Chain A
Amino acid sequence: MIIAIMSLSLLGLGLGVMLGLAGRYLKVEQDPVVIEIEAMLPGSQCGQCGFPGCAPAAEALAAGTAAVTLCPPGGRLLAGELAAKLGVTADFSGMTDDEPSLAAVLESTCIGCTRCFKVCPTDAIMGAPKQIHTVFKEACTGCKACVEVCPTECLQMHPIKVTLGTWIWPKPALAA
């Protein structure tokens, strides 16, 4: 009995120490700045920046090889935050915020090819082979990935309509 308890606790202790050491010495180093930047990016892996996903884009940003204006879905707001984070000054004047828009399926020309929902980064399109597909507006991020693969151009971007709930007062005109 005592031998069994002793051997098991010894085993546990030994393995625990080994795990602890392994965790300490064999750790994969990741730059905390990269992690923080990745958390700021939209995370939809849409690829509009030219990188294969948000993590590689974050690495490039941290290394200083990519401009803070690289993320179209993040827009000016994100570019400003990134510039503040990285301590760089960036020229946003060339960056125009696209009018925010969402994808919608034109039902008369959809052939049910299933290509669009396979590329949607947020699973915002529902459909089945040879059935008309549809876009969930709430989940669409306006990344345009589906527009590019649609063979019949039935997926089109429509500007988001301003409603009473989303309308805001414009900034007062500057003093003379």
Chain B
Amino acid sequence: MKLFRFRGGVHPESHKEETGDKAIEVLPLPARLYVPVQQHIGAPAEPEVQIGDKVLKGRLLAHSQGAISAPIHAPSSGTILDITEHTAPHPSGLGVRTIVIETDGNDSWADGLKTINPFELDTDEISARVGAAGIVGLGGATFPSAVKLNLGKKYPISTLIINGGECEPYLSCDDRLMRERSDEIIDGIRIMLHALKAKQALIAIEDNKPDAIEVMKVAAKLYSNIKVVVVPSRYPMGSEKQMVQTLTGLEIPAGKLSADLGVIVHNVGTAFAVRTALRQGRPLVSRIVTVGGGAISSPRNLEVPLGTLVSEVFDYCGGFDQEPARILMGGPMMGQLLPHTNVPIVKGSSGVIALTQKEVAIHQTQPCIRCGSCITACPCGLLPLEMAARAKKGELQGAVEYGLMDCISCGSCSYVCPSHIPLVQYFNYAKGELAARRRHKQKAEETRKLAEIRMQRLEMEERAKQEAAERRKAEREAKKKLQEAASA
């Protein structure tokens, strides 16, 4: 198959060999699970259990709210200990509503949905089941998968791309999943193809995972509409836009979806979760997590129940060899900085990485020498140095004119910058600030509307009062006249 090249990109050291060759282990059930109600993009789920309730594994804990949201299920059986604020796996260190479960050790499943042959179901039913199972994009973006499966009704979808790129250094969870559970992934892909009514599926795997490529090729052999495509290892290959461009040669236009090009991208982990939901009627309650980084004494891949604390995962892997300088959830390029390890594993946690001082390599920021390295590295064809200069001066509109909204925050520019300018950090700041301004403006508009409605109401009340006064006056006069007429 002819491949196309996306511009820019970088080649960070992969560090995948430390975990890639070790089989997935199941983490022993922790005593307590901290399950946040917000593990996805969209509205947080609303708890529907109470403190003291006994729950079985897979029981619905919190239902989804609104079109873009996802429900949360019990990762194991036990008792609801508390529904409280607990630190979220997020750089802000803020709390999020969290359901705390004391596990009973039985890990016994609740009765799942009755399963029937998924190929007899229509698109609506499949995406409803995927939605009810709480499945979100497991590559890390955590966008509700049901919404994406439903796009087949709105757009004609020709190709389903299964993203096995896993371009982030250190991470090998998708690699291991493909090597160990290839048949299930292929089954999930077939179900997704059926739901999307798409013609073909392309499983894209970077060439640094030869074993996964081999295994997936064997598993896909039976199906003529599923093909494994080997793509070059180059960060950010696993980004949706870059993946679509590599396979189809088409660039997703600014502000559009891949579906506009007739392409939908799902992660391999998502395909596996879809299969589990449809074939076994079981919701998403655990995921494969890469535990890595130079500070971990024995890095590996673990299957972890959602809600397990990061500290327990680290402890199982032998704790730290040396003091970690930075702890990340996700990969080192785009991962979220964690405030501490007392935060839970969530649906989007592809890995937890503890990096040493040497690996982090913090350098003093120097002035920009306008070398253009960031322009060469930017996979979106933007001018990071110009955008950053504007964001630094607070000229956010100027940064937007240079394409800030098309930036995918991949961090390639910061990675190559010889002056160690925190370029992507400037973009993240600018995007957040713009979003805050948008919220501010929206609120101002709502205020204006409310004030206008109040004015109208006050006027109406005033008018009603006047009319009533006039009516009473008229009545009084009529009465007077009547009395005068009677006395006369």
Contacts and interface: CB of A to CB of B under 8 A. Distances in A.
A166 B439 contact: yes
A27 to B, nearest CB: 24
A123 B435 contact: no
Contact of A164 (B92, B366, B455): B92
A122 B453 CA distance: 8
Contacts of B448: 42-44
B94 A167 contact: yes
B436 A172 contact: no
Given A44-B451, A45-B451, A77-B440, A175 B432 contact: no
Interface string B337-372: 000000000000000000000000000111100000
Contact of B450 (A77, A139, A167): A139
B326 interface: no
Contacts of B444: 42-43, 74
A139 B429 contact: no
B153 interface: no
Interface residues of B, number: 38
B181 interface: no
Interface stretch (B113-121, B196-204, B418-426): B418-426
B451 A168 contact: no
Contacts of B436: 166, 168
A127 interface: no
B451 A175 contact: no
Contact of A168 (B88, B435, B452, B453): B435
**B38, B90, B447, B455 — most chain A CB neighbours (10 Å):** B447
B432 A168 contact: yes
Interface string B471-484: 00000000000000
B447 A141 contact: yes
Given A44-B451, A162-B94, A163-B94, A168 B433 contact: yes
B451 A43 contact: yes
A166 B429 CA distance: 13
A171 B364 contact: no
A25 interface: no
Given A123-B454, A168-B435, A171-B391, 11 more contacts: A42-B448, A45-B455, A77-B440, A121-B454, A122-B450, A122-B451, A123-B457, A139-B450, A162-B92, A164-B88, A176-B365
Contacts of A42: 444, 447-448
Given A43-B451, A139-B450, A164 B432 contact: no
A26 to B, nearest CB: 25
B132 to A, nearest CB: 24
A77 B444 CA distance: 12
Nearest to B451: A44
A46 B154 CA distance: 46
Chain A contact-residue range equals 20 to 34
Contacts of A139: 446-447, 450
A124 interface: yes
Contact of B392 (A77, A174, A176): A174
Contacts of B455: 45
Q: Which 4 A-B pairs have the closest CB atoms?
A: A168-B432, A43-B448, A122-B450, A175-B365
B437 A43 contact: no
B133 to A, nearest CB: 23
Contacts of A171: 391-392, 426, 429, 433
Interface in B63-113: 88, 90-92, 94, 96
21 contacts: A42-B444, A121-B450, A121-B454, A122-B451, A122-B454, A123-B454, A139-B446, A139-B447, A164-B90, A164-B92, A164-B94, A167-B432, A168-B429, A168-B435, A169-B91, A172-B422, A172-B426, A174-B392, A175-B421, A176-B364, A176-B365
B439 to A, nearest CB: 7
B429 A43 contact: no
Contacts of A32: none
Nearest to B441: A77
A170 interface: yes
B393 to A, nearest CB: 11
Contact of B92 (A121, A122, A167, A175): A167
